[in-house]
Amino acid sequence: MKYWDIINIRNNEYYRWQINDLNFWLYRDNSEWIIGYKYKKNQKNELIYNRIDKKPKNAEWVQILANTDSNNIQIAPGQPDLPIMIKSKRYLYIMPGNSITYYIKIPVYIHINSMQKNNSLNLFSINSKKISKTWFGDPTSKKGILSYSSEAILEKDLLKIDYNYGMIICPLKIINKSNNKFNFSALNIQTQFLSVYEMNDFLMSETIVYNIKKNSKIDINIKNNSFNKKDSTLLSKPREKFNKNMLEKILLL
């Protein structure tokens, strides 16, 4: 069974998942769904799913009333609920006339969905890792954006990435057509415009293309060409329809 497949759960039994640092439990009592969660550092970098006998201790619990006929649920990986600001661990300069694709990792946002005949009902959503937050923009202005913050080493070789299954790989293609060197210190990734695909045991998103023009203006686009769509399965759609103007406006904050 694949981790993100639809599974059938029984009434009055506890099920446990572990994805990144998030441990969560699901218990169904007919129309009532009880979900518990707790964050604990996951050293082994593995995903766990099993059925357990006892109610776990020291977890936060939520109780959801949803009268559904189906016993099928899906744990769907999605993009985080806020944009994510990626800071490079090393200063990166891209000289004029150069272009490159770097890969970064984004922790999945978990959606617990009750799967019905024609649609799915989202019961609960939660981050799979506790990520610190940051303010992108001027603190004395309302124009800034609250974002997650993460430091990353930019890898140009996909196979060299220290990958675990609770992470989404997002390719960033940077093309510098200007006459100035491009200084990459931080980029705000607008996750609301990205999907999550599963491909050969990897979770991937579309490629974000940063095209630095001759006049040093940056043109941003989201492209699907980073991998062959035939070999991949769409697991979650973008939360918002792609808005190019908004992306560029955000970059210029």
Partner 1 sequence: MDFIKNDLIRNSAEALIILVFGWIILRLFLIIIEKIIKKKFPIQTSILIKKIIFYTGWIIIIMGILNTLGIKLSVVLGAAGIVGIALGFAAQTSVANIISGVFLISEKSFTIGDIIQIDDITGVVDSIDLLSIKIKKFNNQYVRIPNEKIIKSNLINITKYPIRRLDLNLGIAYKEDPEKVKSILLDIAKKNEYVLDNPEPVFAFNNFGNSSLELFFGVWFQTQEYIPTKNSIMFDIKKRFDKEEIEIPFPHVTVYKGSESEPFQIENIGKK
Instruction: State the residues that interact with partner 1 by CB under 8 A.
Output: 85, 130, 132-136, 139-142, 144, 146, 149
Q: Give the shortest CB-107-to-partner 1 separation in angstroms.
A: 15
- DSSP category for residue 231: G
Q: CB neighbours (10 Å) of residue 202?
A: 16
Q: CA-to-CA distance for 109 and 123, rounded, in angstroms?
A: 14
Q: Give the shortest CB-202-to-partner 1 separation in angstroms.
A: 28
Q: Give the shortest CB-190-to-partner 1 separation in angstroms.
A: 17
Nearer to partner 1, 67 or 141 (CB): 141
- Burial label, 183 (beta-carbon count in 10 A; 0-12, 13-18, 19+): exposed
Q: Give the shortest CB-40-to-partner 1 separation in angstroms.
A: 15
Nearer to partner 1, 9 or 144 (CB): 144
Instruction: Give how far Cα 235 sits from Cα of 2, 86, 111, 213, 221, Å.
Output: 12, 23, 11, 34, 21
Q: Give the shortest CB-130-to-partner 1 separation in angstroms.
A: 6
- DSSP category for residue 229: G
Q: CA-to-CA distance for 79 and 85, rounded, in angstroms?
A: 13
Nearer to partner 1, 42 or 226 (CB): 42
Q: Give the shortest CB-50-to-partner 1 separation in angstroms.
A: 28
- What's the per-residue H, E or C state across 181-212? CEEEEEEEECHHHCCEEEECCEEECCEEEEEE
Q: CA-to-CA distance for 147 and 167, rounded, in angstroms?
A: 18
Say if CB 77 and CB 108 are below 8 A apart: yes
Nearer to partner 1, 2 or 91 (CB): 91
Nearer to partner 1, 11 or 132 (CB): 132
Nearer to partner 1, 100 or 146 (CB): 146
